[in-house]
Amino acid sequence: MGNWVDFKEARTVASFPAVLGRYGVELRQINGDHLRGRCPLPQHRSSESKESFTVNLDKNIWSCKSNSCVQASGRRGGNVLDFVMLMEQCKLQEAAAKLMQWFGNGNGQPKPAPAPAAVPAKQQAPAPAQPADGGNQPLGFELKGIAYHPYLEQRGISTDLAVQYGVGYFPGKGSMAGRVVIPIRDESARLVAYAGRAIDDSEPKYKLPPGFQKSKVLFNRHAATADTVVVVEGFFDCLKVSGAGFPCVALMGCSLSDEQEALLESRNVILMLDGDEPGRAAQAELTMRLAATRFVRTVRLPDGKQPDMLTPAEIAAILTPLLR
Same domain, 190 and 239: no
Same domain, 29 and 114: yes
pLDDT in tens, 136-172: 889 988 998 899 999 999 999 999 999 999 999 998 8
Query: Looking at residue 316, which CATH number applies to its domain?
Result: 3.40.1360.10
pLDDT at residue 132 greater than cutoff 70? no
**Structural domain range at position 68:** 7-120
Same domain, 309 and 239: yes
**pLDDT reported for residue 279:** 95
Asked, for residue 221, whether it belongs to a domain, the answer is: no
**pLDDT reported for residue 105:** 53
**Domain termination residue (choose one: 164, 191, 216):** 216
- Split at pLDDT 50, 70, 90, the class of 49 is low
Length of the chain: 324
Query: Looking at residue 23, which CATH number applies to its domain?
Result: 3.90.580.10
Asked, for residue 135, whether it belongs to a domain, the answer is: no
pLDDT in tens, 203-256: 899 999 888 999 999 999 999 999 999 999 999 999 999 999 999 999 999 999
Bond from prior residue into 112 cis (ω within 30 degrees of 0): no
Same domain, 12 and 116: yes
pLDDT at residue 120 greater than cutoff 60? no
Same domain, 249 and 287: yes
**pLDDT reported for residue 128:** 40
Which amino acid makes up residue 92? L
Same domain, 284 and 194: no
Strands (E), 142-187: 168-170, 179-185
**pLDDT reported for residue 130:** 44
> What is the C-alpha separation between 218 and 199, in angstroms, rounded?
24
Same domain, 31 and 115: yes
Summary mean pLDDT of the chain: 84
Three-state SS for 216-265 is HCCECCCCCCCCEEEEECCHHHHHHHHHCCCCEEECCCCCCCHHHHHHHC
Asked, for residue 240, whether it belongs to a domain, the answer is: yes
Same domain, 193 and 256: no
pTM (predicted TM-score)? 0.61
> What is the C-alpha separation between 50 and 65, in angstroms, rounded?
11
Domain count for the chain: 3
Asked, for residue 64, whether it belongs to a domain, the answer is: yes
Run of H or E including 35: strand 34-37
Same domain, 155 and 92: no
Are the C-beta atoms of 117 and 25 separated by less than 8 Å?
A: yes
| Strands 61-64 and 77-79, sheet pairing | antiparallel
Asked, for residue 313, whether it belongs to a domain, the answer is: yes
